[in-house]
């Protein structure tokens, strides 16, 4: 028996500082995709509920987990029986602590988990506190890990998830057009070097000082592209993948099994 799932990548341009409108549009996209296709997992970009350059307004928009936005989208997940992955600003019980988070909701509407972005970039470091671990989440089809944007620039991120059992690395991105070629290389490399599927949804659109690259894609365990969205237009792409290919690739290539951790001591040094 094969383990096939269908993934939908949503490439959209959230409206800056307008969570109400963005969540409404997310719900519309979920309904459109699930009405047209049978999907198991839908992936949205990083900070899709607010936009990226909110600055100090993130303090107003950040929500507890669970909170109003998660409750609204949980209903959509349950109505259509689909897993949802999306980026949003969250806050700790100590309200001054904010995170750039990725939320996973299950097909019953329950909260599967939350990942707090570890590798913060630029002004993110002023607003958010970095996460400190890479959790793996159990789903009905297998173990998944999630990352946010700049995390993909660090091979240790995906490798940590894979060593803890992830068969799919899901990436919610807000990657800039200036570095579009890096986005493609990193996602393909992370998949191939770990014999894992990578499902990466990147946002599009412009904000005061950024333009975002799009280029959402699903990459297989040999680095092969299963689907992609070329250019910076809004839209969605589908890919049906077989998770049994992960085990087959690892047995054939032995990339995980033939690691030599004692030789890698320099990796865990800060400088």
Residues 11 and 29: their CA atoms lie apart, in Å, by 10
pLDDT computed for residue 1 by the predictor: 52
pLDDT < 70: residue spans in the chain: 1-2
Spell out the domains of the chain, with CATH numbers in brackets: 4-268 (3.60.110.10)
- Long-range contacts of 205-210, Cβ-Cβ distance < 8 Å, separation of 24 or more: 205/12, 205/13, 205/14, 205/232, 206/13, 207/16, 207/51, 207/52, 207/53, 208/53, 209/53, 210/52, 210/53, 210/176
pTM of the model: 0.97
Q: What is the per-residue pLDDT for 98?
A: 97
Nearest to residue 108, comparing CAs of 63, 78, 145? 78
């Amino acid at each position: 028996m094969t383990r096939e799932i269908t993934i939908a990548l949503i490439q959209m341009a959230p409206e800056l500082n307008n969570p109400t409108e963005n969540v409404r549009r997310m719900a519309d996209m979920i309904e459109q995709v699930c009405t047209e296709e049978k999907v198991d997992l839908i992936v949205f970009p990083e900070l899709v509920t607010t936009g990226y350059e909110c600055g100090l307004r993130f303090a107003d928009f950040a929500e507890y987990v669970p909170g109003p936005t998660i409750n609204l989208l949980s209903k959509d997940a349950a109505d259509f029986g689909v897993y949802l992955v999306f980026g949003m600003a969250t806050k700790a019980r100590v309200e001054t602590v904010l995170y750039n988070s990725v939320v996973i909701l299950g097909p019953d509407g329950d909260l599967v988990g939350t990942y707090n972005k570890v590798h913060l970039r630029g002004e993110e470091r002023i607003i958010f506190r970095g996460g400190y671990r890479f959790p793996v989440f159990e789903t009905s089809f297998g173990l998944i890990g999630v990352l946010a944007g700049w995390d993909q620039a660090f091979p240790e991120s995906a490798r940590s998830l894979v060593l803890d059992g992830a068969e799919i690395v899901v990436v919610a991105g807000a990657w800039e057009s200036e570095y579009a070629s890096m986005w493609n290389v990193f996602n393909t490399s992370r998949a191939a070097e770990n014999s894992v599927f990578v499902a990466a949804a990147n946002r599009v659109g412009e904000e005061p000082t950024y333009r975002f690259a799009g280029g959402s894609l699903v990459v297989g365990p040999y680095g092969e592209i299963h689907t992609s969205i070329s250019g910076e237009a809004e839209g969605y792409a589908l890919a049906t993948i077989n998770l049994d290919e992960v085990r087959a690739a690892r047995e054939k290539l032995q990339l995980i099994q033939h690691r030599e951790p004692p030789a890698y001591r320099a990796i865990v040094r800060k400088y």
